[in-house]
Amino acid sequence: MEEDEGERLIPEPGTDLAKLLEYKVYRRRWFILVVICLLNSSNAMIWLSFAPVADQTAQYFNVTLDQINWLSLIYMVVAIPVSFGTTWMLDTLGLKTSLILSSWLNMTGSILRFISILSKYPTWLMFYPLLMFGQTLCALAQPLVIFSPTKMAALWFPEHQRATANMIASMSNPLGILFANILSPLIVKNESGLPLMLGIYAFPASIACLLATLFIRASAPPTPPSASAETSNSEPFLKGMKLVKRYKALAVCVCMYICMCCTVEAYVVLFHTYY
């Protein structure tokens, strides 16, 4: 049954009515999913925006290819220490705060990247360090962005929709990588195309920040979408880290994921640099 605030979920026959809450799913969950997808895709586009056009970027800033490669690698360097704080932030401060903070980091970084390349500004601003600083801010946003889908799906979606919502939000990251590898070479035929490329990539980051800041008003819905969402309290951060050590299968999955990320990143950067 459809309501103004959400869809009422009908309990299964035989449910203990004394313990039953009135579970609802809210239509705004799809808006939050769209914001996360846009933010995730935008951050991934910024991540690898220079890899397909490394030669042109190096010539424009008069730096080496190794320095240009660090614009992508900085994401990996930042992600290692920041990921632990991100886990604590999502559990302690909530989904809303994490999304707004990540969207502002992503937008600010993308704007600084654009400013660093504008020739009408003083010479000291048109400089590689400012570009790297903007890229680093976007890198700080990445762990917050890529860890959000699981939390969002658990809090806002009923059990039969969680896997789909998590998949859509998570796949927006490789989709952004695909866009970067297609759009960057199309836009940057020579050095003069770099300002246009950075301006285009700053646009979705700004839209995602605007939507997250103005329209995401709560970390969780007023009424949980399911019984599992009602009781989905995470362990305290330090206690949770101790529990992780007991599960060898999880350690294997983590190692496999790290190897996959390192391989993909190295392949993309080296391929676009030397071929």
Could you write out the three-class secondary structure of the chain?
Answer: CECCCCEECCCCCCCCCCCCCCCEECCHHHHHHHHHHHHHHHHHHHHCCCHHHHHHHHHHHCCCHHHHHHHHHHHHHHHHHHHHHHHHHHHHCCHHHHHHHHHHHHHHHHHHHHHHCCCCCCCCCCCHHHHHHHHHHHHHHHHHHHCHHHHHHHHHCCHHHHHHHHHHHHHHHHHHHHHHHHHHHHHCCCHHHHHHHHHHHHHHHHHHHHHHHHHCCCCCCCCCCCHHHHCCCCCCHHHHHHHHCCCHHHHHHHHHHHHHHHHHHHHHHHHHHHC
- What integer is the mean pLDDT of 80-103? 88
pLDDT band at 1; cut points 50, 70, 90: very low
pLDDT digits (tens, 9 = 90+) for 55-76: 899 888 888 888 998 999 899 8
Residue type, 157: F
pLDDT digits (tens, 9 = 90+) for 149-204: 989 998 999 988 999 999 999 999 999 999 999 999 999 988 888 999 999 999 99
CA–CA dist 139, 88 (Å, integer): 18
Question: Tokens 């903007």 — which residue?
Answer: 134
**pLDDT given for residue 230 in this prediction:** 66
Report the chain's mean pLDDT, rounded to a whole number: 83
Q: Which of 43-47, 92-96, 182-186, 227-231 is predicted with the least confidence, judged by mean pLDDT?
A: 227-231
CA–CA dist 150, 146 (Å, integer): 9
Judge whether 273 and 51 are in contact, CB under 8 Å.
Answer: yes
pLDDT band at 270; cut points 50, 70, 90: low
pLDDT digits (tens, 9 = 90+) for 206-215: 999 999 999 9
Q: Which of 2-11, 86-95, 206-215, 245-254 is predicted with the least confidence, judged by mean pLDDT?
A: 2-11
Q: Is the pLDDT of residue 10 over 60?
A: no
Question: Tokens 């007023």 — which residue?
Answer: 222
The rounded radius of gyration (Å) of the Cα atoms in the chain is: 21
Question: Tokens 């991540």 — which residue?
Answer: 47
**pLDDT given for residue 76 in this prediction:** 86
**pLDDT given for residue 3 in this prediction:** 42
**pLDDT given for residue 6 in this prediction:** 59
Judge whether 25 and 158 are in contact, CB under 8 Å.
Answer: yes
pLDDT digits (tens, 9 = 90+) for 28-52: 999 999 999 999 999 999 999 998 8
**pLDDT given for residue 25 in this prediction:** 87
Q: What percent of the chain is predicted at pLDDT more than 90?
A: 47
Judge whether 243 and 235 are in contact, CB under 8 Å.
Answer: yes
Nearest one of 99, 51, 100, 104 to 75, comparing CA atoms: 51
Q: What percent of the chain is predicted at pLDDT more than 70?
A: 76
pLDDT band at 125; cut points 50, 70, 90: low
